[in-house]
Amino acid sequence: MKPPSPTRRRLLQIAAALPFFPGTLSPIFAPGPAEAMPGPLSRVRPGDPAWPSDARWQQLGEQVDEALIKVQSPLTACLNAPEGPACASFFKSVKNPYDLGDEVGLTQTLGWVDAWTSMPSVYAVAARSTEDVVAAVNFARQNHLRLVVKGGGHSYQGTSDAPDSLLVWTRKMTGTTLHDAFIGAGCEGQAAATRAVSVGAGALWAHVYDAVTTKAGFYVQGGGCLTVGVAGLVLSGGFGSFSKAYGLAAGSLLEAEVVTADGSVRTANACMNPDLFWGLKGGGGGSLGIVTRLILRLHDLPETFGAVNITIKAASAPAFRKLIGLIINFYHQSLLNPHWGEQIRLHPDNILRIAMVFQGLSRSQAEDIWQPFLTSVAGAPDDFDIEFLPLKIVSTAARSFWAPTFLKRLLGFIKVDDRTGAPKDNVFWPGDQGQAGQILYGYQSAWLPASLLDDNRRQAFGDALFAASRHWGLSLHVNKGLAGAPGEAIAQARDTVMNPAVLDAFALAICAADGPPAYPGIPGHEPDAAHARRSAQAIGRAMDALRKLVPNAGSYVSESDFFAPDWQRAFWGSNYARLLAVKERYDPDGLFFVHHGVGSEGWSADGFTKLA
């Protein structure tokens, strides 16, 4: 076996310091020169005889007009001098999600203990055009390379990076154009014109909201986290704060331009390549091709958006069980409708936190809706203590909801990219900053059917929530279930790849744990593996309490367990067989691979070796 190259050797040294990241760098080599291989049974790595020569890489660089980057990890400074100022500066900078996103060698999450760790590709094509993407796809296919795609880089599953790979980085593809009367290609005479927005695959939701809502006065269904990439969210289904009103982001997809594994540029919509179009609507990013442009339906903007933030401390465990009953009864009676979204959080220390948003209501209307619940809580002062600060029911003009105004920054309602010269629309919610550079310890989710709120099931459901909260905190993301949504939103979601369980779910239950920015092998900055494993076990016990009521609950592909054994059923349910057929038609040799992506069961865990 040929000795590893210096780059490979350095990665192996890092891997040696990763006892809790097994199998991320297994040395699997190709049997011979790329041209002589009977098929892509194994992908090549640096140091393999078939790895492209410097001259070949130079040719690719010329083809993409110098958009080819030899990737260098910014962690090199920490590996060389963990106590030095450069390392300290690095770990400070990773709390800025825009700084993370602008670094080709990093991802928004730095790893998941016992699962994966963020490692840079060998080369990246910083694509500025569809032609750049075509060149990268053809080069990867012809040379049997591991190919990875990154836009916003927010994947919890580690699908935005892979060592020893070629990265297609779409961050620079950010063009946004509004259309007053869009009709999909080939759909003339078959579909009515509609307002729409055309968005480059690398755009972030903060910038799209600025263009569509703040400046133009319309609404587009996107993500709640403002630094998430547009393409990745739509391709995974796509929930936002107001999905209970407007449905899935994938449900609003009208058309996509996509580069498939053969290097073809295809238009996918209801009239052209409709099977591929369906597969893109929730089939997961990086699995069927590389989307370069998306066209999304625009909606009328309501007059107001608002938020409700309430924290209640129960005096005892029995009182907390009573409080859980009050909130699920109240949600069933008053909040299971298109006006309400976001989270109800339960904590092991008997604290209930309401962090919800609303649309189409005034502040006084929202206050009237919540008054019966608050009266019930206030009527039991021995059991419950409402923290009136920060008790907040606020509303604002919908058009200014995402605007980076001075007052919102001053009051801490929104944060901005603090780098010198950063664009003014580089904004993010304060709650999202905790995810920047995080190390995940565990993450599980389950869709909860609305039938749990029926009169004959609410008692058992409340008991299950209480039992789960004894092990770990959990959140009910009521915007990530479509029960209570308008019929049009449900119909559009039904025509996506998403697990049909989402149609009847009132919420997605999420139970997760993470730690601060860290990286294995860097003294003073290593993840706490022992704590992580204890947290993951507690999360498992908490979710088991819920799964006793919903034993075959579906799970959201973007927010799910890395170790899920039945991910095909959990993510796509009865739609998986059809999705796999789409994969086999457009990518029969499996050029596109992501962990727990469609067709990934045919490959080794690292995506380098095709299984028999």
Domain spans, the chain: 6-172, 176-301
Contact by Cβ (8 Å): 7, 70: no
Contact by Cβ (8 Å): 404, 69: no
The answer on pLDDT for 28 being more than 90 is no
Tens of pLDDT, residue by residue over 373-393, are: 999 999 999 999 998 656 689
Q: pTM here?
A: 0.92
CATH class held by domain 176-301: alpha beta
pLDDT of residue 63: 97
pLDDT of residue 5: 42
Integer angstrom CA distances of residue 171 from 9, 125, 334 = 29, 10, 41
The answer on pLDDT for 530 being more than 50 is yes
- At residue 283, the 3 state secondary structure works out as coil
* The residue to which tokens 């389950």 are assigned: 446
pLDDT class of 18 with cuts at 50, 70, 90:
very low
Tens of pLDDT, residue by residue over 574-598, are: 999 999 999 999 999 999 999 999 9
Mean pLDDT, residues 258-267: 98
pLDDT of residue 35: 38
How many Å apart are CA 468 and CA 135, to the nearest integer? 50
How many Å apart are CA 171 and CA 360, to the nearest integer? 34
Mean pLDDT, residues 139-168: 97
pLDDT of residue 390: 64
Compare 89 and 130 and report the one with higher pLDDT: 130
How many Å apart are CA 427 and CA 67, to the nearest integer? 27
The answer on pLDDT for 281 being more than 50 is yes
| 3-state secondary structure string across 154-197 | CCCCCCCCCCCEEEEECCCCCCEEEEEEECCCCCCCCCCCEEEE
What does R_g of the chain's alpha carbons equal in angstroms?
A: 24
How many Å apart are CA 214 and CA 186, to the nearest integer? 32
Contact by Cβ (8 Å): 429, 226: yes
Could you please report the per-residue DSSP string of 516-549?
A: SS--TTSTTS---HHHHHHHHHHHHHHHHHHHTT
Could you please report the per-residue DSSP string of 578-611?
A: HHHHHHHHH-TT--B--TT-TTGGGB-TTS-BB-
The answer on pLDDT for 24 being more than 90 is no
Give 205-212's long-range contacts (Cβ < 8 A, gap of 24+).
Answer: 205/229, 205/230, 205/233, 205/240, 206/402, 206/425, 206/426, 206/427, 206/428, 207/174, 207/176, 207/425, 208/176, 209/401, 209/402, 210/402, 210/403, 210/425, 211/176, 211/178, 212/176, 212/178, 212/298
Counting residues of the chain whose pLDDT is more than 70, the rounded percentage is: 92
Measured N-to-C along each axis, helices 130-142 and 54-63 cross at an angle, to the nearest 10 degrees, of 160
- Helices marked H in 226-349: 230-235, 243-246, 274-280, 317-330
The answer on pLDDT for 29 being more than 80 is no
The CATH code that applies to domain 6-172 is 3.30.43.10
The answer on pLDDT for 283 being more than 50 is yes
pLDDT class of 8 with cuts at 50, 70, 90:
very low
Tens of pLDDT, residue by residue over 498-525, are: 999 999 999 999 999 999 999 999 999 9
Closest CA to 159 of 250, 232, 231: 232
The answer on pLDDT for 31 being more than 90 is no
The order of strands in the sheet holding 116-117 is: 116-117, 111-112, 439-449, 505-515, 474-477, 340-347, 351-359, 304-314, 384-397
Helix, strand, coil percent content, the chain, rounded in steps of 5: 35, 25, 45
Integer angstrom CA distances of residue 127 from 64, 131, 450 = 8, 8, 43
CA atoms lying within 13 Å on the CB side of residue 44: 24
Contact by Cβ (8 Å): 273, 266: yes
Tens of pLDDT, residue by residue over 533-575, are: 999 999 999 999 999 999 999 999 999 999 999 999 999 999 9
Mean pLDDT, residues 360-370: 97
Contact by Cβ (8 Å): 484, 338: yes
pLDDT of residue 407: 67
The rounded mean pLDDT for the chain is: 92
What lies within 8 Å, CB to CB, of 345 at 6+ separation is 352, 353, 354, 355, 473, 474, 475, 476
Tens of pLDDT, residue by residue over 292-340, are: 999 999 999 999 999 999 999 999 999 999 999 999 999 999 999 999 9
The answer on pLDDT for 39 being more than 50 is no
Compare 6 and 76 and report the one with higher pLDDT: 76
pLDDT class of 60 with cuts at 50, 70, 90:
very high
CB count within 10 Å of CB 338 equals: 19
Q: How far apart are the first and last CA of the chain?
A: 23
How many Å apart are CA 375 and CA 352, to the nearest integer? 16
What lies within 8 Å, CB to CB, of 608 at 6+ separation is 26, 28, 42, 43, 45, 146, 164
